[in-house]
Structure formats: structure tokens, C-alpha cells
Structure 1
Amino acid sequence: MEKNVTDIVIKRGWDIGQSTRIATLYDEAFGFKFSGAIANKEARVRILSKSFIPDFSYVAFVDHEIVGLAGFQTHYGSLTGGMSLSVLIVELGVARGIWAATVLSLFERKPKAQELIMDGIVVDSKFRGKGIGSMLLDSIVSHAGKNGYDSVSTLAI
């Protein structure tokens, strides 16, 4: 059955038990970005699921299933803020962990005090074309406005 836009619920964050679903969805869209740092897909998803900070995101649900995600970062933190050198070393070993941290640091951009940076939007391929990405973007922009951010920008991928 085709889902209507009215069936879509956007919420800030997610339950930690849904981290693997979030990481899998994120990796489907941005795995190419992380593959130079962490080549193994299983390892990427495992590390992402342990590293994401739910408060720095908005999530789209259809019938309680996560179908989209929009991450963001501020000077307070970011969606991927839990991906530290120590986590990478524990998960990948010293040499690969340091390599991954070095490569990933090339993608980092620190927001200014009153800037919110969009850190990627992803929508499950089965749900694209239903306005979910736009709804997630609207949620990020609304969040920025309600919380006194002067600007919203994107993180170049």
C-alpha cells in the first residue's frame, strides 16, 4: 500500500535501540564518504551506530519505522560527535583507527557560535519522492530559528 505524506511523523532524535537502523540508512547514503576511512561496511555501520548522538538529528517515521534522517551540528555537538579517536582505535585497532581519524578529520568543519550546519539528509529509497527530505529540512530550519541560530549551512560532502 502506498504511504501518504500524512502518515509521516518527524521527531527529534530516536531511541538508542534504533541506532543500527539509523547507521545502516546513513551508510547507504554516505558510505562512500566514510569508505576511505573505514573500508569495511559492517565496521562502518557498527561504529556509526555506537557514535551517533540522537539529539543532533530529526528522524522521519512511517508506521513507527525509521525512513529518513537529517543530522546537524552546532558548537554544542553533532550527530557524529561520538566518533572519537578512542572509539576508532577500540573498533579498528591502533593503525587503522588513527588512519580513519585522519581521513575523517578532512571532512570536519566547526560551526561558528550561532551557526547550525546540516550534516546530511537521507531518505530510504522506498520512500523518496514523498516530501520526506523537505520535511526533514524544514525541521532543521525550524529548530535553528527556535534556538537562535543566525544561519543554517551545509557540510560539503
Structure 2
Amino acid sequence: MGRDTAGPGEGPVTVQRGLPVGAERRAAEMYWGAFGRKLGPALNPPEKAVSFIAAHLNADRAVCALLDGRLVGLAGYQLGGRALTGGSASDVLRAYGHLRGLPRLLLLALFERRPAPGQLVMDGIAVDPDMRGRGVGTLLIEEVAAVAAEQHCQEIRLDVIDTNPRARALYERRGFTAVRTEHTPYLSGLLGFGAVTTMRRAVATRGAGER
């Protein structure tokens, strides 16, 4: 369990693995709040997107931060062929229709990042705006790192877009190093960002001070 400094009249922030039962809608709203700008062209309108995400979450691929039992932070990871956000091609076509669904599938394919052997891919972090600056992101990253160590992964990989410098700064503070930047100026008008940077962090062996 991780802990954050509690505010006046609040309990500590605790971290747990797995999404709490009944928190699917809240998790989808937080995920959309963090990544809606990136995913919007593929999943808009927002209400439909949130409903789709909530209906296809893999709860066991989440690390969650809770304050007094309420979800205030969320990190997803991809391991063993499953990520936090699910939904097959047929699910997308069923939700959006074939005519509108096919181009959405092409856009979603641009965001697919499969882990190499020995890698755990982190899908990003979403934190309640009222909880930013209180160490929630750090707690989530370190719990994901603990999962990676237990699964005998050698490194954690993630992608961050150029319009999210706050997230990149957090990742750098937590030991991630940029290894490659892919510039996509031809997509900037459609997706709202012009470059994606891949970052990696080595996974410390258990007992080596990682946690």
C-alpha cells in the first residue's frame, strides 16, 4: 500500500491493485478527462466514449489511488496481452456502427503499443484535478513498478505526447528516460498532437530499494 499526505479532515491516500467494484464509470470519466483530447477523434462524442470505455475495462490491469474509498487516481498497464482499456474491433463496430466504426478502428490502431519481451507497458496516469500536486502520480508509478518487478519484467515503457509536458516531467522525475520521439505533423490537425515520445525505466530487482 502507498500513502500520500492527507489534507485536513481527510484520511491517507491508499493504493490498491485492481479497480474497485462499481468504480467503472468513475474510472472511465477520469481516463477520458486525461486522454480525451488524444482519443477524441476515435471515440467522440464524449458521453458515448465514456460509456464505451466503462463497459470494456479490464479491472485487473489497473492500479488505483483511493481517498476515503473514492477513486482519485488511476494508472493502467498492459501485460500478458491485456490492457486496462479493452474492446475488440467488433465491439467498436457494434457501438458506433460499421460506417462510422471503420475509420475509428484505423485511428485506434495508431495508439496500439505492444510490449516487447520483458517489458510492461504503462497506459498513462489519470489523477483527479483536485488531487494534483499531492504525490498521487508518484504513488501510482511506484505501484506499477512493483507489479513489473513481481512479473519479472526488465523495464517499463510508456508513450507521452508533446502536448502533455506535465506528465513527461513527472515521468522524468520518477526515473524514465526518453529513448525515441516520433514526429507526426501530418496528424496534428486531426489528433491534436504532433509528436509521441517513448520513455523507459529499468525495473529494479526486488529488494534493491525500488519501493
- In structure 1, the partner of 2:42 is 37
Two-structure CA RMSD over aligned residues (Å) = 1.8
**5+ unaligned residues in a row in structure 1: which ranges?**
none
Selected match of 1:107 from 111, 116, 121: 111
* Local SS of the residue matching 1:37: helix
Residue 20 of structure 2 corresponds to which residue in structure 1?
15
Q: Post-superposition, which runs of at least 4 consecutive aligned residues in structure 1 deviate over 2 A?
A: 1-6
- CA distance 1:151–1:5, shift in 2 (3 Å): farther
Task: Give the Cα separation in 1 of the matches to 2:108 and 2:40.
Answer: 10
- Indicate whether 1:149 and 2:153 are aligned: yes
* Alignment-mate amino acid for residue 113 of structure 2: R
Structure 2 residue 97 is matched with structure 1 residue 93: yes
Structure 2 unaligned blocks of 5 or more: 1-5, 162-211
Aligned mates of 2:56, 2:73 — CA distance in 1: 18
Per-residue CA deviation, residues 53-89 of structure 1 (Å, 9 max, x unaligned), is: 0111100000000000011112331111x22111111
Task: For residue 122 of structure 1, report the CA deviation from its aligned partner.
Answer: 1.0
Q: Percent identity?
A: 32
Residue 54 (str. 1) matches residue 59 (str. 2): yes
Say which structure, 1 or 2, has more relative contact order (CA 8 Å, 6+ apart). 1
Greater C-alpha radius of gyration? 2
1:45 alignment partner AA: V
Higher helix share: 1
TM-score by structure 2 length? 0.70
1:118 partner SS: strand
Query: Is the 8 Å Cα contact of residues 11 and 67 (structure 2) preserved in structure 1?
Result: no
